[in-house]
């Protein structure tokens, strides 16, 4: 299986600030990467697919980048509603796997 | 609008078998190019993909669970199902059903909690 590593379990950011969440795959995944946002009590919500493509309705302050094994999710102008846990997921392999999540908190 | 809704017993005893149902509205589960999946989230929030059923009926399982997992469907009711046997406490989790679009989970149900305890 391809292992997905999110090295930061928690990140604390100021309102209006910028944050970058990282995700590293154990093998090349050719941009077959998605990002999800999960708020307490809710199911995950798809934000980005194909490493960089924003889903309809997702604010433009969210963006994704990366290639090969290394990917990032960036959020600019952080809002209170962005407080959530963020997960990456690879779909290059037929066995889909998720990162362990990065919980975003307001400083 | 596409919606998914899970249902299940909530509590089962160790070694028993559980059946979960996902009812889909807003789209037929036989619509081409989509897969219909089960995912679980453990206490502590780790996410694990369980398996999916294609619009055609073909099924793919996570190899770590294939020996005790069965996914089926009832197209007349637009439902798909997860059956898991030989349950242990380690199967305690929130179980989600989701639509798979080209490998990503774009619509999710709200989840059903399963507790395995005597």
CA distances from A69 to A3, A22, A85 (A): 10, 11, 21
* Nearest-by-CA chain B residue for A46: B106
Mean pLDDT by 10 residues, chain A (107 residues): 97 96 98 98 98 98 98 97 98 97 95
How far is the C-alpha of B91 from the C-alpha of B71, rounded, in Å? 16
Classify strands A97-98 and A45-49 as parallel, antiparallel or unpaired. Answer: unpaired
Classify strands A102-106 and A10-13 as parallel, antiparallel or unpaired. Answer: parallel
Write out chain B residues lying below 8 Å of A85, CB-based: 45
Nearest to B11 by CA among B23, B20, B24: B20
What does the pLDDT look like over B30-67, one tens digit per residue?
Answer: 998 999 999 999 999 999 999 999 999 999 999 999 99
B96: confidence class by pLDDT, cuts 50, 70, 90: very high
B46 vs A100: CB contact, 8 Å cut-off? yes
pLDDT given at position A96 = 98
């Amino acid at each position: 299986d391809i292992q997905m590593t999110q090295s930061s379990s928690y990140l604390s950011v100021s309102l209006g600030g910028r944050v970058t969440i990282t995700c590293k795959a154990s093998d090349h995944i050719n941009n077959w990467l998605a990002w999800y946002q999960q708020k307490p009590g809710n199911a995950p919500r798809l934000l980005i697919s194909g490493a960089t493509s924003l889903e309809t309705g997702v604010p433009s302050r969210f963006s994704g980048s990366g290639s090969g094994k290394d990917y990032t999710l960036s959020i600019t102008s952080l809002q209170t509603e962005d407080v959530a846990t963020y997960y990456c997921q690879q779909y290059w392999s037929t066995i889909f796997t998720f990162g362990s999540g990065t919980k975003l908190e307001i400083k | 609008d596409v919606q998914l809704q899970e249902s299940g017993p909530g509590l089962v005893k160790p070694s028993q078998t559980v059946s979960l149902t996902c009812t889909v509205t807003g789209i037929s589960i036989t619509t081409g190019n989509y897969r219909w999946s089960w995912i679980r989230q453990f206490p502590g929030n780790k996410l694990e993909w369980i398996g999916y059923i294609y619009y055609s009926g073909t099924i793919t399982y996570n190899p770590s669970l294939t020996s005790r997992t069965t996914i089926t469907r009832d197209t007349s009711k637009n439902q798909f199902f997860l059956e898991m046997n030989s349950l242990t406490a380690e199967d305690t989790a929130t179980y989600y059903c989701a639509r798979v679009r080209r490998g990503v989970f774009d619509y999710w149900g709200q989840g059903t909690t399963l507790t395995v305890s005597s």
